[in-house]
């Protein structure tokens, strides 16, 4: 059985998960800073104590937040782990949203994963009123 642990993700765990899904490598310092500076993080852990997934919230904590680094290792994908993580991340953002205000929760999704995020209430872009998301890699 998988359970979630909040705000306890380590540098080694983050680097391991990124490597397991083939994401661009980052330095240990980048990982450390990303964990220190995020608003919230959660890791998914199996019965043997192995980390099998993670997610982070970054942003200003008032107007806009982003789901960042939602990762589930291939061995446990399609078993509801990603849904557990994203629902906890959404709950966290809802818990910090000021009463009677609107807060944006955004993300950039990997190609082919759109349906997963739509199933969790996200709107794909572009729309009639929203342009496409964009990225620039600073190397």
CATH at residue 10: 3.40.630.30
DSSP state of 111: T
Residue 2: is its pLDDT beyond 80?
yes
CA 43 vs CA 49, 81, 85, 128: distances in Å: 11, 10, 8, 36
SS3 (DSSP) at 2: coil
Cβ neighbours of residue 83 under 8 Å, at least 6 residues apart? 120
In this prediction, residues 61-74 reach a mean pLDDT of 96
In a domain, 129, yes or no: no
In a domain, 137, yes or no: no
For 92-123, what is each residue's pLDDT tens digit?
Answer: 999 999 999 999 999 998 888 999 999 999 99
Range of the domain at 56: 3-118
In a domain, 66, yes or no: yes
Give the global pTM.
0.94
In a domain, 35, yes or no: yes
CA 19 vs CA 59, 60, 62, 100: distances in Å: 24, 28, 32, 41
Domain count within the chain: 1
């Amino acid at each position: 059985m998988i359970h979630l642990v909040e705000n306890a993700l380590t540098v080694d765990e983050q680097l391991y998960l990124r490597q397991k899904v083939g994401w661009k490598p980052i330095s240990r310092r980048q990982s450390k800073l990303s964990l220190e500076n995020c608003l919230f993080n959660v890791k998914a852990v199996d019965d043997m104590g192995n980390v099998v997934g993670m997610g982070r919230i970054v942003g200003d904590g008032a107007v806009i937040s982003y789901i960042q680094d939602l990762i589930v290792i291939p061995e446990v994908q399609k078993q509801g782990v990603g849904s557990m993580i994203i629902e906890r991340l959404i709950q966290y953002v809802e818990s910090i949203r000021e009463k009677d205000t609107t807060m944006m929760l955004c993300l950039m999704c990997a190609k082919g994963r759109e349906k997963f995020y739509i199933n969790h209430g996200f709107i794909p872009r572009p729309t009639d009123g929203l342009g496409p998301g964009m990225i620039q890699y600073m190397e």
